[in-house]
């Protein structure tokens, strides 16, 4: 006799019942993505497009626990501007004129 497949209860997130992420690992490719990666697109006409994606030098990546407190870039900038006066003078750098 065949055992019945377990039915996974799905809450109101529009995810199909057959998706199962119990064996997933959070952040598995995080370090590789920070180093950059290559995207290869094979088009219907037989051509191939290769795109190298590198992290922008001015990009700042927030860890998930910190990201929970900031909804957007402006909120991060506001918090950091409040911290700037607390830095000692030897760490201060003149901001370039925009």
pLDDT, tens digit, for every residue of 15-70? 788 888 888 888 888 777 778 888 899 999 999 999 988 877 777 878 889 989 99
Tell me how far apart the terminal alpha carbons of the chain are, to the nearest angstrom.
Answer: 74
| Burial class (CB within 10 angstroms; exposed 0-12, middle 13-18, buried 19+) of 49 | exposed
Give every CB contact of residue 70 below 8 A, 6+ residues apart in sequence: 62, 76, 79
Which tokens belong to 72?
């957007």
This model's pTM is above 0.85:
no
Q: What is the pLDDT of residue 97?
A: 66
Strand-pair category, 48-53 with 37-42: antiparallel
CA–CA distance, 17 with 59 (Å, rounded to integer) = 37
């Amino acid at each position: 006799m065949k055992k019945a497949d377990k039915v996974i209860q799905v809450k109101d997130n529009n995810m199909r019942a057959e998706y199962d992420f119990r064996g997933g690992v959070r952040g598995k490719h995080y370090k590789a993505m920070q180093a950059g990666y290559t995207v290869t697109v094979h088009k219907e006409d037989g051509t191939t497009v290769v795109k190298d994606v590198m992290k922008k030098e001015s990009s700042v990546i927030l860890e998930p626990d910190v990201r929970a407190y900031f909804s957007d870039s402006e909120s991060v900038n506001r918090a950091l501007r409040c911290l700037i006066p607390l830095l000692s003078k030897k760490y201060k750098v003149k901001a370039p004129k925009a």
